[in-house]
A and B are shown apart, each in its own frame.
Chain A
Amino acid sequence: MIPELGLFSLILALPVALCTGVLSLLGAQRGRPAWIALARPGSVALAFLVGVAYLCLTWAFVQNDFSVLYVARQSSSSLPIVYRVAGVWGGHEGSLLLWLLMLTGWAALVRFYSRALPDGLRARVLGVLCLVAAGFLLFILLTSNPFLRLIPGAAEGRELNPMLQDPGLVIHPPLLYMGYVGFSVAYAFAVAALMSGQLDAAWARWSRPWTLAAWVFLTLGIAVGSWWAYYELGWGGWWFWDPVENASFMPWLAGTALIHSLTVTEKRGSFKNWTALLAVSTFSLSLLGTFLVRSGVLTSVHAFASDPARGVFILAFLVAVIGASLLLFVWRAPRMGLGGRFALVSRESLLLANNFLLVVATSAVLLGTLYPLIVDALDVGKISVGAPYFNAVFVPIMLPLLFLIGVGPFARWKQASAAEIARRLRWTLALAIVLPIPLYSFFEVELIGRRPLLNLSLMLALWIFLSAGRHFIQQVRATQGGGSFIAAALKQPLHFWGMHIAHVGVAVFVAGVAIVGAYEAEKSVKMAPGDTVGINHYRFRFLGVQSIEGPNYQALRGEMALLENDRVERRLFPEKRFYHRSAMPMTEAAIDAGLWRDVYVVLDEPIDRERPDDEWVVRIYVKPLVDWIWGGAFLMALGGLLALLDRRYRIRRRAPIQEIRV
């Protein structure tokens, strides 16, 4: 009964979404207050109906209702409760429902936090969001109904893929989807502004906090996903350039460009068309990502059962969304005017360079991701594009961008002086070049220059860190007056704090990537209980394997002691699990995480399968600074959050927007 209620609620949501979308857009176009007024209750009703459907599906999971096909496929009664709740988004149908829930949730948030917006614009934004939701509702109802019954019902479910039975499943998809889907708000704002012809600084100011919020979620989502892959897949890698990772990374790159170009549009009124185009592209890339992941054209951990009808539907939807918004753009954009002029050396042109590099990087990743599909479609053969391509292309594009991060804040708007910037930053640059030298001896005696990329990355990381500090101090001093430095620092606007914290996050990330790439150590060895092996200055003693029983699996648990001067410093317990229902083996790495290094131990294979208490192939990694990678991403997200909380975005009723001086 409950699943039918959920389905009914979803079916009811479709006309609500369509009516609200069409009527509020038409109403805004023709100036009909009655139709415009429909947008607010309509979007809330939509969110409510989708919420009910979502809760019904969750209920079916919690109650182990295996007469629902999706539940029978994704869950089992021995599954711990937390994975039954999270299991809702463990498969195709449920994750689409989560997508939709997020989308309508964002729309409801816009409805509640947009009192300062003119009625017409708000109706348009909500209308666009409702139409996108209608597209997804159609998709779910026609091709991916999660409430489909299994008659007769199964006595027991098939169990969630063991790889997904992990806390990562609980946090990674919701965060990622919040980000993915959140860009729909930026998209809706851009489309609404294009429709009304008011693509101006006020538009940029309104859409900026929403874009930042989506970007913060996406940053966290990608970071958590990367961390999950790191400890779960058992290879100790943190990024594989897997097509599905790229699918989430491309909107992130475009979104990063977008939050920077929005600054220019808000402050100076320039780049308006470009910003609108970026907002459209960012959401289009989110949709493309969904298409790539959900249509089954790509195969990876994330590609669930593939069904050609789904692929065709998403492709058609994608073409409709991108095509319609590009048409609108071509029709409307030329009327928008150019905005403020700027000189060759200015904050604007530096941000333009940022956008240029980020967009080019996005395109390069897009090409590498789609190339196998294009080649396959042309029937020239089957190919794969490996990680070396992405590294070879992505890194050189990012290096100049990293350098520019250090320069950007020092350049004035409109017209800056290259000589003055150089004068302010020369000592910072010199320090960034010299400082890494003593650092090398800290890790390993390595001839300087033997690893040019490592040296350059470390210098750039330091450069970003030092110049952010330099700019911060300079700015605080300028406003300090007679008071204390700390008091003046705390008085700085939050967006200023946010910018520097996010940039320092980039520095931390780059340092982590460079060091772990150059200095990680790996050993794959055969060990009998009692054997000892050394890596760098660490020593490991294998103490044997025990059999243990988990809630829905049986495991062989190894014990490895990390020794320091023959004293046991720490014990690590890597596992090899066998899940009962799916009969799938899983490797669970044991990790001793630390600020300066992770020790990562994996139980690979018993030499003799009949005697698991004897010799094993064991893999051990020592990874210096690997946690800086996620720490850096976290700092970036924190910076975004602070910028988003800045006072100037607080809701004021009909706050007058300052005129832009051109």
Chain B
Amino acid sequence: MAGGVLGEVAAPARSIDWAASLKEAALAAAVALVLFLPLIGMQIVRIEGGTGLQFRLGWVAIGVALVFVGRLLLILLGGRSADLLAAAARPFARLPQLLAPYSLWFGLAGVTFAFVLPFLPFADRYVVDVATTVLIYIMLGWGLNIVVGLAGLLDLGYVAFYAVGAYSYALLAIHFNLGFWECLPLAGLFAASFGVLLGFPVLRLRGDYLAIVTLGFGEIVRIVLLNWYPVTKGPDGLANIPRPTFFGMDFTRNPAEGETAFHEFFGLPYSGLHRVVFLYFLILILALITNAFVQRVRKLPIGRAWEALREDEIACRALGINPTNTKLTAFALGAMFGGFAGSFFATRQGFISPESFTFIESALILAIVVLGGMGSQIGVVLAALVLVLLPELGREFEQFRMLLFGAAMVGIMVWRPRGLLAHREPTIRLHPADAGSSP
């Protein structure tokens, strides 16, 4: 609403109409009053024998006054406020395109940094843990990028495949005593079949309708996990999921009889950090495999068919591309990587419950793909860094950190509406890259 009002007012406001401006600002202040009264104005406090309400009208007054002044300033700046915004964004507008030829170097630098990170002096357990989380989301982002970025199918239930992967690994490992490496392909396979399962009913849907159905699918999977007590232990979750081993060696202080632990084999003193670092490298390699696969497939006929499907499905059919198969492979492959990431998540946590697979996870992964710039691999990395690190860095701000997080997302969408790195490189060129491409 604010944008529309701003636009209308901004254009003709060369000579300032004070009455209208004040009215407009007063209106904004009134809206702010309605919002702030419950949000800031009331606080629940503990009093004898229960809780009570405490009013903080002073804060409300300050907030409303700020909104009034701010709105008035925006109006007085007139059209220039939009210009200022555009001017602030201009230096960044062509950045992705300028950087595109060097993306290989950025990628290499990033990977090198990722490999040496655990050995850097500041890398304590917390840093490696957070980095592992970032990598999980990068991998999920890359997986979802197949479905959303390349094939253009808006999927709001991606977390379902993550959950299928996690539960597949946990159940197989607990009941059949299979190791992580045996379970990984199976978990991927299960997740992929769930991808196909979701794919069939939504073949004819696009855009908003597809989003709603996939959202429902994600919830169905979560609710089944929650209620199928005999198998999934419902809300209690599955505990004691086996941890991964390094070529059969555990990361325990006192290994079982007849087995060698990692630190014994290498003659190192035992440290809890070994496993954390091992898990970090594990997800790093899984993520890199995902990336290599997606990069490769993008240049294959199937990858080009996905992108063509995103651009125009009718034209695809007229070119003899089978839309059913193309969509289903996108769903299946995207889901497979979600499943791999899920298995890793299960083995890292050692405990999973449906609570880890709520809609907010799907939303976060989708936000990573969209903020990064649909279809951009490095964009996903940047967005995952921003979206996972920001709440971490914001911990000192306590309850305001989500506010900060939201503000950052709004900011990105204002300055870079098509994502951080929206530039798309063709998968194949006739002329060398510097010979001049699209204007």
Q: Do A and B come from one complex?
A: no
Chain B residues near A (Cβ < 8 Å): none
